[in-house]
Chains A and B, each alone.
Chain A
Amino acid sequence: MTSSKIQIKNLYKIFGTNPESVLPLVREQGLGKPELLAGHAHVLGLQNINIDMQAGEITVIMGLSGSGKSTLIRHLNRLIEPTAGEIMLDGQDVMTMNSDQVRRLRQKSMSMVFQNFALLPHRSVLQNAATAPIIRGIDTAEAEKTARTWLDRVGLAGVENHHPWQLSGGMQQRVGIARALSADSDVLLMDEAFSALDPLIRTDMQDLLLTLQTELQKTIVFITHDLDEALKLADHLVILKDGAVVQQDSPQKVVMNPADPYIEEFVGDINRARVLRAGTIATSGTPEGHMVGEVDANDTLETVIALAAGRTTACVTVVDNGKTVGKIEMRDLLSALVPYKSNNQS
């Protein structure tokens, strides 16, 4: 009934000499991170994580450093072993797999892109991109053919015989993406994949990822500490703080209804006109203002503002798949542009 590709259930990770001994304290008595560190000398990495990741969607896990997001993504392909909990991939528990099965999982089902690229410095770009099929034992000529296709797709045709150190950061990460894609896995794990890049290149890479995704429909788990990036990429946004999930929802809902002050503070800084979509704030009822046109439900508020061309009395119709779903009055739009907190005060 559910199309969940990956389900994380009650996942706990405690770092320390004897994590099992303190697990009940966390699970039953709800001991927090500072108390556990002070009283028991164990570090609480993750507590009670429950996430459903849908097939073909980009799930973004966002949090500041130390929130446990990199730890969480490494549980999915078992680079880190959990203290307790289940991770289901297509209904199969990853945690019960033996080392051979885990290796096959890493080779075929999940491939990973790293923050620091982690390319093999002694191999050429082509050999790097062909890593996954070569590990699997596919013959070199065929593996390199696959690799070449993906290098073309990420815009790296012509540098196949260079070495990674000859490329810029952005290009190196393109190799990283080509390497992950040539594994032909359903799931793509991206650990702060664009965080080490310049802002402009980062935007390029985000666009590249979105373009590839419309076509490939992979299940992507994306880790980031950057809210703008998270909002741009996410179909499903998970916000992590001190190893616990504070809120998970669609990005539009997170921006409109932040669950706690921590997230409010986060979303306070963003450009809401560029993030919020017309469908999110559309209301039903008869248009009152001066009708200036119609917009798609997925258009951002910036489009609506441009359409209104400064007229505060304007009103637009919102259309989704050719069907009218509501209208936006300029005054509703203006109040939506102000963060939630001040909305309540007025």
Chain B
Amino acid sequence: MATYDFLFDKTGLRDWCDADAVASPMSMSQLLSQVGNDDGTSGNTLPFPSLDTLHEACAAIPQTRDVTAGVEDGFLAIKDSLKFVLDPLTQPLSWMLDGALYAFTAAPWWVVIPLLIWVTWLSTKKRGITVFVAAVFLFFGVIDHLEVALQTLSIIMVCTSLSVLLGVPIGILMSRSDRLQRVMLPILDMLQTLPSFVYLIPLIFLFSVTEPKLYGIAIILYAIVPIIRLTDLGIRLVDKDVIEAATAFGMTDRQKLLGVQIPLALPNIMAGVNQTIMMSLAMVVIASLVSAPGLGVLVLRGIRNLELGVGLVAGFGIVLLAVVLDRCSKAALQRVDPTNKSR
């Protein structure tokens, strides 16, 4: 007999329990206890009244595995309608990722590398960083990792620019409405704390694994958080006296936003861009689990096949890429800082 039989006998719920009792498949723990000749109630221990334990006493109570099955069924039920909406909406993301991947890998190395060096010089105007970037990409070329590194880079570029494009307006809206901020902050907290693998699970069901938007969405969801947060923070931190002066001289909200708030929040916004780049780099490695090309694939191969050298070299490549992106974005940040006194 089960431990909690008395509960249902005493409260007169026995009839309800047995009413539609159907012999359900045995759970693993039941099976194990049978094998071990243990009826589960021996001894004077009082098992925690979990769903499984209560199910033994009353068949009408669902087992724990029904909960996870319920979540799954629920998701599958809305999957089609969700897909119907999201599929066309996110299709451009697939095109952009495909396009960027194609452009970077199809172009010959003697176009891509000088182009990257030139862009670095334009955005940073720092000789040291430009030389470093040139050295890094030549190194990738020498060890035959140029193509995968460029794949990773192109995914990051697409995802980061989309994150900024979406994140900055959201951040601006948040900074103007305390209510929106109260709604958004828990969502951002959740996006930031959710283990990065968990993003992939529902996405795999929604889209086919061969579609680039699958990992594109995962990366953007993960990387958009800092740009939203820092845009919101940056605008809220703009000197109240300056805003008051702008109001006192009769600026419209639009003039205030474009002429005062955004320029003065720019250092914080750029710090957000830097964080967003770093986070998409972190995610693009994990996204190789769902067919994102690039250095992550090699890391994954290192783990799967215990190819130590392949994994470590690819990992080192990711570090180099991270340093390049970090230095470039920080140097660019310094140049746009309107109050930067060292200019």
Contact = CB atoms under 8 A, between A and B. Distances in A.
Contact of A106 (B248, B255, B264, B339): B248
A103 B252 contact: yes
A122 B244 contact: no
Contact of A107 (B250, B259, B263, B339): B250
Interface residues of B, number: 20
A126 to B, nearest CB: 15
B250 A135 contact: yes
Contacts of B239: 118
B48 interface: no
Interface string B227-251: 0000000000001011011111111
A111 B242 contact: no
Contacts of B255: 135
Contact of A114 (B241, B264, B338): B241
B260 interface: yes
Contact of B248 (A108, A112, A119, A122): A112
A107 B247 CA distance: 9
A132 B248 CA distance: 10
Nearest to B248: A112
Interface in B310-343: 338-339, 341
Contacts of B248: 77, 79, 106, 111-112, 114, 189
Nearest to B259: A120
Contacts of B250: 103-108, 132, 135-136
Given A114-B244, A114-B245, A122 B251 contact: no
A120 B264 CA distance: 9
A165 B341 contact: yes
A120 B255 CA distance: 13
A119 B339 CA distance: 12
B249 A131 contact: yes
Interface string A115-131: 01011111000000001
Interface in B105-161: none
Given A112-B249, A131-B249, A135-B251, A120 B244 contact: no
A183 B260 contact: no
Nearest to B241: A118
Nearest to B242: A118
Interface of A: 77, 79, 103-108, 111-112, 114, 116, 118-122, 131-132, 135-136, 165, 179, 183, 189
15 contacts: A79-B244, A107-B249, A107-B250, A112-B245, A112-B248, A112-B249, A114-B245, A116-B241, A118-B239, A118-B242, A118-B244, A119-B245, A122-B264, A131-B249, A136-B250
Interface of B: 239, 241-242, 244-252, 255, 259-260, 263-264, 338-339, 341
Q: Which 10 A-B pairs have the closest CB atoms?
A: A122-B338, A107-B250, A106-B250, A118-B245, A118-B241, A112-B248, A103-B250, A122-B263, A121-B339, A116-B241
Given A114-B241, A114-B244, 18 more contacts: A79-B248, A106-B247, A106-B248, A111-B249, A112-B245, A112-B249, A114-B245, A116-B241, A118-B239, A118-B244, A118-B245, A120-B246, A121-B242, A121-B264, A122-B263, A136-B250, A179-B249, A183-B249
